[in-house]
């Protein structure tokens, strides 16, 4: 197995060699930012990963990068695709329809007589906090770095080239469709642009729709050049004019600028705001009060290095391991986006975060990892979720463009809150948070169920399950059960015993869709469709016609329905019953009993993996490789995990097995490389064989916690015994409070599975 892991790493290394952190001035920054030198934004950029490749601050509002046609979610596509220009706002790792891609800037040569200036790349230089390319046709070089709310560009035109131009397009956006009001497509609403002086332009773009089918959002911008432009024109629709401004008349607008005189280098700041052009200007000037590209880059690298240094790994680890690990941390901290002070909907002192894209993806591993690296940040994120409920009606399961939407399964902000609560994060009003959780659990969102709350809630409360005929009935039932468990935990911790008992009982509702007599591939018992009358359904009807009632057979392997079945309306969303029937993270002992006991459960897990029913590229199966822990065989969990890592992860451009989903895939990887895995919403980490010999967490309370895999090698891959701070530790899970207490967990490694880990926890 280790040979397969090493082979995967060698392949990845050939695809994506280690590059030192080099400044825009050509100096080697590796000594100043040693951990950042291992981050490669290209990992996971191709294939299904869809990660953002441009520069970004941690949780930064501005994310500038090339936009290669209006179609990709992150804006970027590998060469030889064309480049339309460089937009300022993007997301990372997402599926579904695109969002953002706003305020496009494009350098060009020639007359001011056309609004598009498409070109192609000669090369790309992509590093932490820095992007660099040269266009083939024009020969113009573009370098990009960024602050939190303002982008910084340096364009280098060919020496003595005439007609140095810059286009600022306020009408460009990703996901445009010729079909009016196409689902998940962004829709143009309006734009405006104004020439303020011979080196300043401002304006805005207003777009609606996109992945969350959200209401209109407005991105205001302020652009400033370090050289004056000598000529300008503006455009509206298809007309180019000499007017200084183009007001909003629901048409696309932009400006073309010409630069003459000495010099072939042009620098550009683009401040962004969701409030006003004046606020965008203030962001540009306050965050970048100078014209030093190198200084902006160094400040950005420093912010990342501070976060990366919270977790130090074995200095002798393979470079491929270092690249995978620190890039995983990097991807985890790109989203959600900190827009505190930039909320156009309400004003109060509570932090405001947007682009939860989506909590359904990130609650399992991204939130717990942020809690370890930057707990204050996680506190702010949770406070933001609760305040969104207070001001906007519900907490989001997803939110983008200042608008809730879409829910994919449960109301999973509850699990994020429970995770913070059981891990003792301070600074959160948990009484208020509990009320937000109860809003989800008691108030049906009605026609807004795709945007927020719990769709089918009335049926769920009345029947104890969501019946067939309501979209995503299967995973809604399963996930509502877990969300109810999260409510129970918080209620118990706050001393509300009656509320605790109510929701603890309700957390068992998943059993109401468990069909005990259903057999498939040697396994017995599955979560299956059931109608409101309590009847099990082997064939599912679709459609409401009185004349034709098409049906299709539903089995535990059904992932997609016939062509006439919308993806969004399946019994399970983005998973099969085989996957979701093993996804009961709050009651694994109850699940084992339902499956026929430990022996039957182990056989079921083996079938799941050996027949490739496991779906590595999606989140519902994130915990499943660890389920052998509950059987007293953590070594089997480790074997499964390492096989998945070897086959599906590497340090190349196709280094992630699925959409990174705002860091979900990356944080899953980072945890398993350390040898810990969280069961989100609960206060413990499962212990597995790490890929790293040592990992040291520098905790926010000033203590250090170290994990040491003593004797780890290709042959010694099984935990024989463990000690915590020198005391024998026979359990296969670690409580969060023990981790936060600091100290050292030593895992003694050997060649064969041992007796260690037969029990998960110390008895209380």
Domain of 726, CATH number, reads 3.30.2080.10
Cβ neighbourhood burial of 334 (10 Å; 0-12, 13-18, 19+)? buried
- Tens digits of per-residue pLDDT, 530-571? 999 999 999 987 766 666 677 889 999 998 777 767 778 899
Which is higher by pLDDT, 192 or 357?
192
Q: Is residue 458 part of a domain?
A: yes
According to the model, what pLDDT value does residue 6 have? Answer: 36
pLDDT-derived band at 620 (thresholds 50, 70, 90) equals very high
**Of the candidates 307, 322, 348, which is a domain's last residue?**
307
According to the model, what pLDDT value does residue 56 have? Answer: 98
Question: Same domain, yes or no, for 587 and 491?
Answer: yes
Full DSSP string of 614-654:
--TTSGGGSSGGGGGGGGT-HHHHHHHHHHHHHHH--SSTT
According to the model, what pLDDT value does residue 413 have? Answer: 98
- Residue range 214-229: mean pLDDT, rounded: 97
Q: Which two tokens stand for residue 168?
A: 């600022």
The 8-class DSSP code of residue 33 comes to S
According to the model, what pLDDT value does residue 544 have? Answer: 60
Are 35 and 305 contacting, i.e. CB atoms less than 8 angstroms apart? yes
Pairwise CA distance, residues 713 & 619, whole Å: 30
Residue 222: which of 269, 184, 288 has the closest Cα? 269
Cβ neighbourhood burial of 242 (10 Å; 0-12, 13-18, 19+)? exposed
Give me the domain span that covers residue 742: 1-32+646-764
Are 658 and 48 contacting, i.e. CB atoms less than 8 angstroms apart? yes
Helices (H), 449-496: 457-463, 473-493
Contacts of 201 (CB under 8 A, 6+ apart): 168, 193, 194, 195, 222, 223, 255, 257
Q: Which two tokens stand for residue 245?
A: 């401004």
According to the model, what pLDDT value does residue 27 have? Answer: 64
Pairwise CA distance, residues 374 & 382, whole Å: 13
Are 339 and 57 contacting, i.e. CB atoms less than 8 angstroms apart? no
According to the model, what pLDDT value does residue 559 have? Answer: 84
- Residue range 102-112: mean pLDDT, rounded: 97
Strand order in the sheet with 200-209: 121-127, 130-135, 141-146, 150-156, 265-273, 214-225, 200-209, 186-197, 245-246
Question: Same domain, yes or no, for 386 and 300?
Answer: no
Q: What is the CB-side half-sphere exposure of residue 585 using CA atoms within 13 A? A: 28
- Tens digits of per-residue pLDDT, 499-527? 999 999 999 999 999 999 999 999 999 99
Are 709 and 693 contacting, i.e. CB atoms less than 8 angstroms apart? yes
Residue 215: which of 401, 450, 352, 385 has the closest Cα? 401
**Of the candidates 589, 613, 637, which is a domain's last residue?**
613
Mean model confidence pLDDT for the chain: 94
pLDDT-derived band at 365 (thresholds 50, 70, 90) equals very high
Q: Is residue 627 part of a domain?
A: no
According to the model, what pLDDT value does residue 255 have? Answer: 98
- Residue range 669-678: mean pLDDT, rounded: 98
Q: In DSSP terms, which residues pair with 104 in a beta bridge?
A: 169
Are 634 and 753 contacting, i.e. CB atoms less than 8 angstroms apart? no
- Tens digits of per-residue pLDDT, 151-168? 999 999 999 888 999 999
- Residue range 310-314: mean pLDDT, rounded: 98
Question: Same domain, yes or no, for 13 and 42?
Answer: no
| HEC-encoded secondary structure of 298-320 | HHHHHHHHHHHCCEEECCCCCHH
Pairwise CA distance, residues 401 & 404, whole Å: 8
Q: Give the distance from CA 547 to its chain's centroid.
A: 44
Q: Minimum mean pLDDT among 80-94, 169-183, 417-431: which range?
A: 169-183
According to the model, what pLDDT value does residue 3 have? Answer: 35
Q: Which two tokens stand for residue 86?
A: 């460089």
Question: Same domain, yes or no, for 346 and 471?
Answer: yes
pLDDT-derived band at 61 (thresholds 50, 70, 90) equals very high
Query: 413-422 and 366-373 are packed helices; what angle lies between their axes, rounded to 10 degrees?
Result: 30
Residue 195: which of 163, 230, 154 has the closest Cα? 230
Q: Is residue 328 part of a domain?
A: no
Contacts of 75 (CB under 8 A, 6+ apart): 52, 54, 65, 66, 67, 68, 87, 90, 101, 174
Pairwise CA distance, residues 304 & 35, whole Å: 9
Q: Is residue 594 part of a domain?
A: yes
According to the model, what pLDDT value does residue 162 have? Answer: 86
Pairwise CA distance, residues 455 & 394, whole Å: 13
Question: Same domain, yes or no, for 44 and 20?
Answer: no
Residue 622: which of 593, 561, 577, 665 has the closest Cα? 665
Contacts of 5 (CB under 8 A, 6+ apart): 642, 645, 646, 691
Q: Which two tokens stand for residue 348?
A: 């109060």
According to the model, what pLDDT value does residue 14 have? Answer: 39
Residue 509: which of 577, 409, 584 has the closest Cα? 584
Residue 635 has pLDDT above 90, yes or no: yes
Question: Same domain, yes or no, for 499 and 591?
Answer: yes
Q: In DSSP terms, which residues pair with 709 in a beta bridge?
A: 747
Give the other-Cβ count within 10 Å of 235's Cβ. 24
The share of the chain scoring above pLDDT 70, in percent, equals 95
Question: Same domain, yes or no, for 25 and 59?
Answer: no
Residue 26 has pLDDT above 90, yes or no: no
Is the sign of the CA dihedral 12, 15, 17, 23 positive or negative?
Answer: negative
Q: What is the CB-side half-sphere exposure of residue 36 using CA atoms within 13 A? A: 29
Which is higher by pLDDT, 18 or 401?
401
Radius of gyration for the alpha carbons in the chain, expressed in angstroms and rounded: 26
**The whole model's pTM is what?**
0.95
Query: 375-392 and 430-442 are packed helices; what angle lies between their axes, rounded to 10 degrees?
Result: 50
Bond preceding residue 336 cis, omega within 30 of 0: yes
According to the model, what pLDDT value does residue 24 have? Answer: 59
According to the model, what pLDDT value does residue 764 have? Answer: 45
Pairwise CA distance, residues 116 & 110, whole Å: 12
Q: Is residue 134 part of a domain?
A: yes
Question: Same domain, yes or no, for 145 and 177?
Answer: yes
3-state secondary structure of 241: strand
The 8-class DSSP code of residue 506 comes to H
Sequence length of the chain is: 764
Pairwise CA distance, residues 180 & 186, whole Å: 10
Give the other-Cβ count within 10 Å of 238's Cβ. 8
According to the model, what pLDDT value does residue 262 have? Answer: 77
Residue 619 has pLDDT above 50, yes or no: yes
Pairwise CA distance, residues 56 & 628, whole Å: 39
Question: Same domain, yes or no, for 562 and 696?
Answer: no
Pairwise CA distance, residues 110 & 550, whole Å: 60
According to the model, what pLDDT value does residue 261 have? Answer: 76
Contacts of 543 (CB under 8 A, 6+ apart): 549, 550, 564
Containing H/E element for 720? Answer: strand 718-724
Are 76 and 360 contacting, i.e. CB atoms less than 8 angstroms apart? no
Question: Same domain, yes or no, for 268 and 359?
Answer: no
Question: Same domain, yes or no, for 235 and 299?
Answer: yes
Q: Is residue 592 part of a domain?
A: yes
The CATH number for 523's domain is 1.20.1610.10
Q: Is residue 317 part of a domain?
A: no
| HEC-encoded secondary structure of 538-597 | CEEECCCCCCCCCEEECCCCCCCCCCCCCHHHCCCCCCCHHHHCCCCCCCHHHHHHHCCC
**Per the structure, how many domains does the chain have?**
3
- Residue range 695-705: mean pLDDT, rounded: 98
Residue 395: which of 341, 336, 349, 344 has the closest Cα? 336
Question: Same domain, yes or no, for 449 and 408?
Answer: yes
Q: Is residue 123 part of a domain?
A: yes
Contacts of 290 (CB under 8 A, 6+ apart): none
Strand order in the sheet with 684-687: 676-678, 684-687, 733-735
- Residue range 113-122: mean pLDDT, rounded: 97
Contacts of 159 (CB under 8 A, 6+ apart): 264
């Amino acid at each position: 197995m280790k040979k397969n892991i090493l082979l995967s790493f060698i392949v990845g290394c050939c695809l994506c060699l280690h590059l030192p952190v080099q400044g825009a001035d050509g100096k080697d920054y590796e000594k100043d930012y040693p951990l950042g030198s291992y981050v490669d934004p290209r990992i996971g950029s191709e294939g299904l990963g869809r990660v953002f490749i441009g520069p970004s601050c941690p949780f930064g509002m501005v994310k500038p990068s090339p936009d290669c046609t209006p179609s990709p979610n992150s804006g970027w596509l590998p060469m030889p695709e064309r480049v339309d220009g460089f937009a300022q706002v993007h997301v990372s790792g997402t599926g579904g329809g695109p969002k953002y891609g706003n305020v496009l800037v494009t350098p060009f040569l020639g007359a001011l007589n056309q609004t598009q200036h498409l070109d192609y790349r000669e090369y790309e230089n992509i590093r932490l906090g820095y992007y660099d390319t040269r266009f083939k046709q024009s020969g113009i070089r573009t370098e990009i770095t960024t602050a939190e709310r303002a982008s910084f560009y340096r364009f280098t035109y060919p020496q003595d080239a005439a007609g140095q131009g810059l286009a600022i397009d306020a009408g460009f956006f990703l996901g445009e469709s010729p079909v009016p009001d196409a689902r998940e497509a962004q829709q143009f609403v309006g734009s405006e642009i104004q020439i303020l002086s011979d080196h300043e332009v401002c304006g805005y773009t207003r777009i609606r729709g996109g992945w969350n089918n959200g209401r209109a959002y407005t991105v205001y911008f302020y652009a400033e050049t370090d050289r004056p432009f000598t000529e300008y024109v503006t455009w509206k629709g298809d007309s180019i004019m000499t007017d200084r401004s183009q007001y909003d008349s629901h048409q696309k607008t932009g400006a073309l600028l010409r630069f003459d005189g000495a010099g072939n280098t042009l620098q550009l700041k683009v401040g962004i705001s969701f409030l006003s052009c004046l606020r965008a200007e203030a962001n540009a000037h306050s965050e970048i009060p100078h014209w030093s590209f190198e200084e902006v880059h160094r400040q950005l690298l420093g912010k990342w290095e501070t976060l990366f240094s919270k977790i130090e790994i074995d200095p002798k680890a393979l470079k491929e391991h270092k690249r995978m690990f620190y890039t995983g941390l990097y991807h985890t901290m790109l989203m959600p986006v900190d827009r505190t002070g930039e909320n156009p909907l309400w004003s109060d002192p509570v932090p405001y975060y947007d682009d939860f894209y989506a909590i359904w993806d990130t609650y399992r591993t991204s939130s717990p990892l942020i809690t370890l690296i930057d707990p204050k940040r996680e506190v702010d994120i949770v406070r933001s979720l609760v305040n969104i409920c207070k001001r906007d009606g519900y907490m989001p399961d997803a939110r983008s463009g200042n608008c809730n939407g879409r829910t994919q399964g449960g109301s999973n902000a509850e699990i994020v809150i429970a995770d913070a609560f059981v891990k003792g994060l301070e600074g959160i009003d948990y009484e208020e948070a509990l009320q937000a959780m109860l809003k989800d659990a008691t108030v049906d969102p009605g026609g807004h169920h795709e945007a927020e709350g719990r769709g089918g809630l009335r049926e769920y409360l009345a029947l104890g399950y969501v019946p067939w005929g309501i979209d995503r009935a299967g995973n809604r039932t399963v996930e509502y059960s877990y969300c109810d468990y999260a409510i129970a935990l918080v209620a118990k911790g706050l001393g509300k015993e009656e509320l605790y008992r109510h929701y603890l009982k309700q957390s068992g509702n998943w059993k109401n869709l468990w069909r005990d007599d259903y057999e498939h591939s040697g396994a017995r018992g599955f979560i299956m469709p059931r109608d409101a009358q309590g009847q099990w359904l082997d064939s599912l009807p679709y459609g409401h016609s009185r004349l034709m009632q098409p049906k299709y057979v539903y089995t535990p392997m059904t992932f997609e329905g016939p062509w006439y079945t919308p993806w969004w309306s399946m019994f399970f969303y983005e998973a099969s019953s085989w996957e979701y029937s093993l996804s009961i993270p709050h009651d694994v002992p109850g699940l084992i009993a339902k499956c026929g006991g430990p022996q039957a459960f182990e056989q079921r897990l083996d079938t799941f993996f050996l027949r490739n029913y496991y779906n590595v590229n999606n989140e519902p199966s994130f915990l499943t490789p660890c389920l052998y822990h509950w059987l007293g065989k953590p070594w089997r969990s480790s074997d499964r995990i390492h096989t998945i890592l070897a086959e599906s992860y590497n340090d190349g451009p196709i280094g992630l097995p699925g959409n990174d989903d705002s860091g979900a895939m990356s944080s899953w990887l980072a945890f398993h490389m350390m040898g810990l895995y969280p069961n989100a919403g609960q206060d413990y980490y499962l212990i597995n064989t790490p890929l790293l010999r040592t990992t040291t967490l520098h905790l926010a309370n000033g203590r250090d916690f170290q994990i040491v895999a003593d004797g780890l090698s290709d042959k010694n891959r099984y935990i024989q015994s463990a000690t915590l701070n020198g005391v024998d530790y026979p359990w296969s899970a670690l409580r969060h409070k023990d981790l936060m207490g600091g100290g050292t967990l030593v895992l003694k490694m050997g060649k064969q599975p041992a007796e260690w880990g037969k029990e998960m926890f110390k008895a209380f």
